[in-house]
A and B are shown apart, each in its own frame.
Chain A
């Protein structure tokens, strides 16, 4: 239960949401999407932590009821989420490139249907 991590993760989520909503540069919007994803990843990892636990990697003979390890499931969820975040970034940047080609600008105040 690391309080600082939880505070930081919710701060990152809020910061990412602020960037998405307020910024009118498309690249900054994409950065905001990524920051939001990283905040959630930090939240997931922190939820799985047990103080004093070891890494959840055991050979078949080592595992016994006294072993105390951190939760492996949130680590698996985080890996999946990191990959999803990378795909989001790639896809949104591809769209930004096509938008720049067709409008010559990445300012949402200029691009006709992206105002607001």
Chain B
């Protein structure tokens, strides 16, 4: 089957997660129902992504789905697009797979907590937000999905609010996350002011010839915003707190999915919108930032651990931080295979 028959699958993959979240809000007091809905929603999301593997990865197609039945008119992008190319599909498969596995794990892990329906609601909203982010073809849609996933992650970090440091971790995550989101929004709107479009494909066609001071400031703001989501160097302390305070199934998602979505935002920004792959200063800067993050986070994780954290968690945190920074640092080389080399360790990390 060609891609036209599969063109609705991206939106199905996102909506089934949000639909599951809303169903659990209404009917979640029934334990069997909520586990069934959560598992079905996450599996369906993974299934729709897997069905897109053949045309997009092997066939080299790019699926563009225009929401609301709109279509481009006169060479101008009208409406909001979802766009699935190989990078989006890779991240989509990674995210949906990790979310499905985390959902299976959290059935047993959260069985002794209270307020479990709210947990599954937030879990599915978080998953839906990340899927929406990686499949989105519109810059403002990416911002909205980033907000959804930030709030769901903050609420889930504070979920066990009697746990040691959970509330403080959630408050730190909220403040830094909101600063980052505001930067993404400011960058988006400055790009819109210059280019009068929000569609990623159209922006990437318009930006390279039209760099001005405002677009450079927009780039800086967007870069900072996505760095806060990926927990790079000035924004890394909140990751350590969030990992320790969140329930383990959410810690999996924070390290394996949320940070990767921040990296996805950075890849889209640097390489697709602003075409900086060949730019020497940008290459140096990305490598430098990734290396500094790796170094600083590794040192802090090894040296500054409070004594009450269990050893398993310490090792996991160190490993997570190292692998993420290694992914970050291997991004900026401009051969086509380097990007593969960057994201494969991310896949392994997500699966670990």
| B:105-120 near A, CB below 8 Å | none
Q: Is the CB of A113 within 8 A of B165?
A: yes
Residue of B nearest to A92 (CB): B174
A43 with B186: in contact, given A95-B158, A114-B168 (CB under 8 Å)? Answer: yes
CB distance from A93 to the nearest CB of B (A): 11
Binds A, one of B64-72, B129-137, B147-155, B317-325: B147-155
Residue of B nearest to A71 (CB): B196
| A:56-77 near B, CB below 8 Å | 73-74, 77
A111 with B179: in contact, given A43-B186, A91-B174, A98-B161 (CB under 8 Å)? Answer: no
| Size bin of chain A's contact surface | 20 to 34
- Quick check: is B182 within 8 A (CB to CB) of the other chain? yes
CB distance from B229 to the nearest CB of A (A): 15
CA distance A99 to B165 in the complex (A): 10
Contact of B241 among A84, A102, A113 (CB under 8 A): A113
Report B159-187 CB contacts with A as 1/0, cut-off 8 Å. Answer: 00100010111111011001101100110
Q: Is the CB of A113 within 8 A of B168?
A: yes
- Quick check: is B314 within 8 A (CB to CB) of the other chain? no
Tell me the interface secondary structure of chain A in the complex: helix
| Size bin of chain B's contact surface | 20 to 34
Q: Is the CB of A88 within 8 A of B178?
A: yes
Q: Is the CB of A44 within 8 A of B151?
A: no
Contact of A81 among B161, B169, B185, B192 (CB under 8 A): B185
Which B residues are in CB contact (< 8 Å) with A29? 175
A99 with B179: in contact, given A13-B186, A80-B144, A91-B155 (CB under 8 Å)? Answer: no
- Quick check: is B189 within 8 A (CB to CB) of the other chain? yes
CB distance from A8 to the nearest CB of B (A): 14
Q: Is the CB of A99 within 8 A of B168?
A: yes
A40 with B171: in contact, given A17-B179, A77-B140 (CB under 8 Å)? Answer: no
CB distance from A44 to the nearest CB of B (A): 5
A37-B178, A91-B155 given; 4 more Cβ-contact pairs under 8 Å: A29-B175, A88-B151, A88-B178, A95-B170
Return 6 A-B CB contacts under 8 Å, by A number: A13-B186, A40-B182, A74-B189, A91-B154, A91-B155, A99-B171
